[in-house]
Amino acid sequence: MVLEASGNSQRDTGPLSQLTKGMHHIPIEDMEAWVFRSVETRMEEVVKNGKITQPRNSFMLYRSAYFERAKKWYASNNPAVINTVIGESWYKEAPEVRQLYELLARIDSDKHKLAHPGYKF
């Protein structure tokens, strides 16, 4: 894919985990910390936000992890562009990267059930 409005207009050849490997100044969001937050923290979020949010699926965790790096890599603040490239990157990721986010999504779902046992979505 070529992004004309991008700071990186070369043809993408790999997933964000590889393309942005050298961007140490922009950390990958820590999704392990997110999914392992306590039941108490999850309940506080409900009070703060006024609603129970769904647990994140594997792609949404990946998207959250790489959003800031993707914005910088593609030199764009347009969420539609960033979401598109992250979506394309997700399918290019190595199986072990996808499996990590799938595991994190299962953990998030289990923790969500502990915090909100009667929740249905």
Give tens-digit pLDDT for 63-86: 999 999 999 999 999 999 999 999
Would 67 be classed as within a structural domain?
yes
Does 88 reside within a domain?
A: yes
Residue 52 clears pLDDT 90, i.e. is over it: yes
What SS3 state is found at 21? coil
Given a cut of 50, whether residue 10 has pLDDT beyond it is: no
Sign of CA dihedral 47, 49, 55, 56: negative
Q: How far is CA 4 from CA 10, 25, 64, 75, 76, in A?
A: 9, 25, 24, 11, 11
CATH of the domain at 61: 1.10.30
**Which is it for the CA torsion 72, 84, 61, 42, positive or negative?**
positive
Domain range for 97: 26-114
Count: domains in the chain: 1
- 12 — pLDDT class (breaks 50, 70, 90): low
